[in-house]
Structure 1
Amino acid sequence: MTVVEDRLGELERRVARIEDEAAIRRLQMAYGYYIDYNRPEEVAGLFAEDGAVVFLSGEYRGHEGVMRLYGTWFQNLFTGGRRGPVEGLLLDHFQLQDVITVSEDRKTAKGRFRGVLAGGWHDSVLDRKPDEVPQQFWEAGIYENDYVREDGVWKIRRLNYMMQWQADYETGWAHTIAHLQPAVQTYPENPIGPDVILPEEEWRQTWPHRQEVAMSFAHPVLGATFVKEHFTKMQKEWP
């Protein structure tokens, strides 16, 4: 191959990777919009055949599990089984701060996002509000997701959402304990429960507890091999 052909091939690979990242970002952003309006069928359509969601220390598996979480649980909890938007209900999920890593063979990818949720009910519809949910609340969490390309289309293989905090709007995070707690019972004993409870070492306590969420991406400057000891060595070498 000539130098020009080599450079052209490298440019094609770079463009393909950029296109993959854009498609995955679009996929995740679409997920945020669909759950805003309680549209579980569209949400389920974003997942691979073997897709799964990890939420509140439980894993919901396959399209049936995804529909149980976003349809049976979320839709019934927030909208009484109706598709949104619903008058007087705020449930906006912002998908932010993405770092996407596509594998060398471009068949799989990792993605880290930050989610922020503003939710609640207007005074005029308080008769629909579930007792266990505050009228106005904030929530934030981190996604560490796996994606897969199926038949040339990027899909979510494992959406791994780790809630970081919840807060009543009026009192703030300093005075709030999360109103959602980790799963303790699986489906079908719990009709809205996960298929599997995470192992004890992976179990997630909610706010005000805090825990590290391992990062799927390499350090953008120092590379994947970076460890704290390297930084200590660098500090000693600084003038």
Structure 2
Amino acid sequence: MNLSDLEKRITVLEDIEAIKKLKARYCAICDEDHNPAKITTLFAPDGIWEGAGVGRHQGHDAIRKLFQSFQERISFSQHNVMNPIIDVSGDRATGVWYFIGPFTMRNGNRPMWLGARYEDDYVKLNGEWKFAHLRAIGRMSAPYEKGWAK
């Protein structure tokens, strides 16, 4: 293997680690009361947050408003993401993650379990990875007391 090939491989590994950190920052911000000001820093200016039952929200203003609505509905969340499959191609990448987490909904102080699959597109802007399109695909939503099997 020549030096150029080795440099390319190292760059891909560094990009994958940077994308993992981006997703970890996303989860941390969600769990900090879905901070609308902070969340937009993780998205490209024309980035998209999309979820079934929640809709498609494009651009920083729309994403900020979405996260303000999350603040109004959710009093507690713990985002746990796992099993990333990340593919990098230059300044673009894709990622698939699985998510499970406990939530407390403000309405009725209801504890819930939520599970989802994230399908993300990323773009590298000015040397920094951002979400170009985050898709949250719901797989499970269940009251804490009853679980998801019923």
Secondary structure, aligned partner of 2:79: strand
Specify the structure having the higher radius of gyration (Cα): 1
User: What is the distance in 1 between the residues matched to 2:84 and 2:130?
Assistant: 16
Secondary structure, aligned partner of 1:13: helix
- Structure 2, unmatched stretches of 5+, are none
Match of 2:38 in 1: 42
User: What is the distance in 2 between the residues matched to 1:22 and 1:28?
Assistant: 10
Match of 2:78 in 1: 92
Residue 150 of structure 1 is aligned with which of 110, 116, 125?
Answer: 125
User: What is the distance in 2 between the residues matched to 1:65 and 1:54?
Assistant: 11
Give how far 1:94 is off: 0.7
Paired letter, 1:28: K
Give how far 1:26 is off: 0.4
- Structure 1, unmatched stretches of 5+, are 1-5, 79-88, 122-128, 176-239
CA deviations 1:174-231 (Å, max 9, x no partner) are 22xxxxxxxxxxxxxxxxxxxxxxxxxxxxxxxxxxxxxxxxxxxxxxxxxxxxxxxx
Is 1:130 matched with 2:70? no
Secondary structure, aligned partner of 2:25: helix
**TM-score relative to the length of structure 2:** 0.93
User: Superposition pairs for residues 38-117 of structure 1, below 5 Å?
Assistant: 38=33, 39-57=35-53, 58-71=55-68, 73-78=69-74, 89-103=75-89, 106-117=90-101
Give how far 1:74 is off: 0.4
Bigger strand fraction: 2
Give how far 1:90 is off: 3.2
Secondary structure, aligned partner of 1:172: coil
Match of 1:20 in 2: 15
Is 1:174 matched with 2:112? no
**RMSD over aligned Cα atoms:** 1.5
User: What is the distance in 2 between the residues matched to 1:136 and 1:130?
Assistant: 10
Paired letter, 2:139: Q
Paired letter, 1:76: E
User: What is the distance in 2 between the residues matched to 1:62 and 1:24?
Assistant: 20
**TM-score relative to the length of structure 1:** 0.59
User: What is the distance in 2 between the residues matched to 1:48 and 1:168?
Assistant: 34
Paired letter, 1:18: L
